[in-house]
A and B are shown apart, each in its own frame.
Chain A
Amino acid sequence: MSKIKKFMYVNRRAPYGTVYALESLEVVLIGAAFDQDVSLAFIGDGVYQLKSDQDSSDSDQKNFSPIYQALGDYDVSKLYVEKESLEERGLTLEELMPLTYEDEDDDWAEKDSIRVVSRDEMAELMDQQDVLFNF
């Protein structure tokens, strides 16, 4: 079997107005079939993608935020959110969707997928990746 690579999908844009966020999500879900070490990063306006209670009715896009809840089923359980990006937008962790996954190695205990990290920690995480996808 080939070496497992570390894939990070970096989400930088607001969820609606462009197709970047939804396209990123689709690539993540398709890529999840290939058994790689997958994580998602949310920086800048990308943090809005995880905001709870999204209402997209004023845009012509459907509210696709429920799809993030399915990421755990696809074994995508590492969602890194940059602390500074949240703060700059007056957001807190409590205002994001509660996203969870079930840990196979811990008797399927339900755990939080979202991890808030500092800008420095995010840079370090990016440094550890084999592949970065920018959206």
Chain B
Amino acid sequence: MPIEVDGKTFETDEEGYLANLNDWVPGVADVMSKEDDLELTDEHWDIINFLREYYEEYQIAPAVRVLTKAVGKRMGKDKGNSKYLYGLFPYGPGKQACRYAGLPKPTGCV
């Protein structure tokens, strides 16, 4: 189902992931999170931006286990744990945060 952001229409796949990574604007995350009844805070944005940087560097969306480890390394142990990340993204930090970030579904998420 396509989503509408600031009057522009964005194609998504059947699971709601953005069809074209390069289409992404921050408004995409705002619209998607509203649909999930989630209010994005700076903490959410830290993870979304981190995922976009990870994708830029490695060309893949990391599996949640890999994301957790990488966040811990970059932002400290208090954030690099699944309790913190699932607290932010209850539908799963890999899947949900990657979707907001305009990334494909994580490689290695089964």
> Which residues of A does B touch, CB under 8 Å?
26, 29-30, 32-33, 62, 64, 66-67, 69-70, 73-74
Contact = CB atoms under 8 A, between A and B. Distances in A.
Interface stretch (B1-9, B59-67, B83-91): B59-67
A74 B54 CA distance: 13
Interface of B: 57-60, 62-63, 65-66, 69-70, 107-110
A70 B62 contact: yes
B57 A74 contact: no
B108 A66 contact: no
SS of A interface (majority): helix
B63 A67 contact: no
User: Which label, helix, strand, loop or mixed, suits the secondary structure of the B interface?
Assistant: loop
Contacts, number: 37
Contact of B108 (A33, A64, A69): A33
A33 B110 contact: yes
A32 B108 contact: yes
A28 B58 CA distance: 15
Nearest to B59: A66
A32 to B, nearest CB: 6
A87 B65 CA distance: 38
B60 A67 contact: yes
